[in-house]
Structure 1
Amino acid sequence: MAVCSICGKGVKTGMQVSHSHIRTKRTWKPNLQSVKAVVNGSPKRITVCTRCLRSGKVQRAI
């Protein structure tokens, strides 16, 4: 499932509404990246959203 390991951001659902007001279901998916980060002192591959990467909540491993 598409969920950020840091903040828990996941898929949102809602309705797509056309000009004639025909409603169909749609989803909004977060921009998730698979990165190698330091978790509990050891490098580990985790899935993180770009907002957490950009704000510095994740320390990337080399």
Structure 2
Amino acid sequence: MSRRCEICGKGPWTGLQVSHSHRRTKTRWLPNLHKVRALVNGKVKTIKVCTRCLKAGKVQKVV
């Protein structure tokens, strides 16, 4: 199960956490995803969408 927005394709970022003593450890920043029942091609489908796409109105939610 991928952690990727099905609308814009936003996925996890990788990088390094740097401590005060400059020790570095690998880390991942995950997108803020929500499972939403949405209308896709005229059918109701559960998709994972980031909150930026939800706020922008790129997804038509089904009640």
TM-score under structure 1 normalisation? 0.96
TM-fit CA distance, 1:61: 1.0
> Percent sequence identity over matched residues?
61
TM-score (norm 2): 0.94
The structural deviation recorded for 1:41 is 1.0
> 2:39 is matched with which residue?
38
Q: Distance in 1 between matches of 2:62 and 2:39?
A: 5
CA RMSD of aligned residues (A): 0.6
Q: Which runs of 5+ in 1 are unaligned?
A: none
How many correspondences in the alignment?
Answer: 62
Q: Which runs of 5+ in 2 are unaligned?
A: none
